[in-house]
């Protein structure tokens, strides 16, 4: 059918109404006149595919990446820059409005530059005698070969071709690849390899040496990591403190993004933040910068991340400022009575948010709360609980840490009314 695209939905696909329901067509922008095909029905409407662009909308731009369209990694490269930024801002505004939230200050979006991403998940696939290394197509298991990527740090991009050669030589079948550019080299994990014989292990060790990797691990089907070659323990710096990180540890996607989030989180902290509870702390991205303002009790459920954090605390003589405590905050959120002793709370949950934990914070009477999120919808839901508990939403900062994707990072600063 022929149609004119009206808006872009929350996942980055343009859509138009068909029989009163939206038909989502990837790679389109508002004002595009297109020929599209319906391919499936979804709860929110219909999924479609672009057959032909008949005439472009005013916000359409030339995608900068030659892989765009086939590769499923980016969704919005066809959107002109100012329209792109306005769309991302609108996603936050919609979420806040839906929850009836009005921050006293809404800061302009901070952008992280291309070629700054330090962690990436790749896919590899055997096709006849060829090994394809790249990203999966949208809604598909098919892997698109990637020779370059505008998102990645050069240290990660430079591994793409050598990885394909390695997997071709080692009898690779199928599996995932996780790579992180650390301060002292790349931490690489490979799936789909059975390193049970000495010859293969020697080949992998030679690859680690040739590519100057910090560590090479094997990734099993359950997502577990077996370090195979450790030439030096991979390290990242959080607030100037070196942390030896385990394989697969969660990190902010870029150093620039981490620093921007840290600045937004700490902007309201002062001498009165003498005791801070940090919830969902991971390996300490924000813990060490927070410790400059006061004592930090850091809570995390992941054992490997918590061990890395605690090791850095002890190694760097910070036991007098930071404690690392294991706690599953989904099963056992900190109660309001436990939180009442703190002068500030910082929480940074996964995309699902932390509804139960937010409800406890709302009853705690803690003077200052900082909410960090990668999901505007769950951010707004959790912050609404805090506002209903007597907090004022002082400001919201936003970060475009994932260029050309629909994702937005948020930081909300809240103060208890009367403070």
Active-site residue set: 374
User: H or E element: which one contains 132?
Assistant: strand 130-136
The dihedral built from the CA positions of residue 252, 109, 149 and 220, taken in this order, carries a sign that is: positive
8 Å CB contact between 283 and 243: yes
Residue 1 Cα distances to 25, 50, 53, angstroms? 12, 10, 12
How many Cβ atoms from other residues are within 10 Å of residue 137's Cβ? 16
**Unique residue bearing structure tokens 């892997």:** 143
The count of residues in the chain is 419
The Cα–Cα gap between 287 and 102 comes to 29
8 Å CB contact between 112 and 399: yes
Residue 320 Cα distances to 253, 298, 324, 347, angstroms? 30, 13, 12, 22
The Cα–Cα gap between 394 and 148 comes to 42
């Amino acid at each position: 059918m022929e149609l004119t695209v009206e808006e872009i939905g929350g996942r980055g696909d343009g859509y138009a109404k068909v029989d009163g329901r939206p038909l989502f067509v990837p790679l389109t922008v508002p004002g595009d006149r297109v020929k599209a095909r319906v391919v499936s029905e979804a709860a929110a409407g219909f999924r479609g595919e672009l057959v032909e662009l008949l005439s472009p909308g005013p916000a359409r731009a030339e995608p900068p990446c030659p892989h765009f369209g086939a590769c499923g990694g980016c969704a919005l490269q066809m959107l002109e820059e100012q329209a792109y930024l306005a769309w991302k801002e609108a996603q936050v505004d919609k979420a806040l409005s839906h929850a009836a939230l009005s921050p006293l200050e809404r800061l302009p979006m901070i952008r992280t530059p291309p070629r700054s991403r330090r962690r990436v998940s790749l896919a590899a696939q055997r096709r006849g005698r060829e090994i394809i290394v790249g990203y999966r197509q949208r809604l598909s298991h098919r892997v698109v070969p990637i020779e370059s990527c505008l998102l990645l740090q050069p240290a990660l991009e430079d591994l793409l071709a050598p990885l394909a050669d390695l997997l071709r030589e080692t009898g690779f079948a199928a599996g995932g690849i996780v790579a992180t550019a650390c301060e002292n080299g790349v931490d690489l994990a490979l799936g789909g390899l059975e390193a049970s014989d000495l010859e293969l292990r020697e080949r992998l060790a030679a690859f680690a040496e040739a590519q100057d990797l910090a560590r090479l691990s094997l990734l099993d089907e359950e997502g577990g990591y077996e370090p195979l070659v450790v030439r030096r323990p991979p390290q990242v710096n959080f607030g100037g403190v070196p942390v030896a990180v385990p394989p697969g540890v969660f990190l902010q996607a870029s150093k620039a993004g981490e620093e921007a989030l840290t600045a937004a989180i700490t902007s309201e902290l002062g001498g009165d933040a003498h005791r801070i509870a940090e919830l969902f702390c991971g390996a300490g991205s924000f813990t060490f910068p927070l410790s400059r303002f006061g004592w930090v009790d850091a809570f995390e459920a992941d054992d490997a991340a918590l061990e890395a954090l605690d090791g850095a605390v002890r190694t760097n003589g910070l036991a007098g400022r930071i404690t690392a405590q294991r706690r599953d905050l989904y099963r056992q959120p900190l109660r309001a009575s436990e939180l009442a002793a703190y002068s500030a709370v910082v929480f940074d949950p996964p995309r699902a948010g932390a509804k139960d934990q937010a409800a406890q914070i709302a009853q705690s009477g803690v003077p200052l709360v900082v909410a960090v999120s990668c999901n505007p919808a769950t951010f707004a839901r959790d912050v609404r609980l805090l506002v209903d508990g007597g907090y004022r939403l002082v400001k919201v900062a936003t970060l475009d840490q994932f260029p050309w994707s629909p994702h937005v990072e948020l930081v909300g600063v809240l103060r208890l009314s009367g403070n």
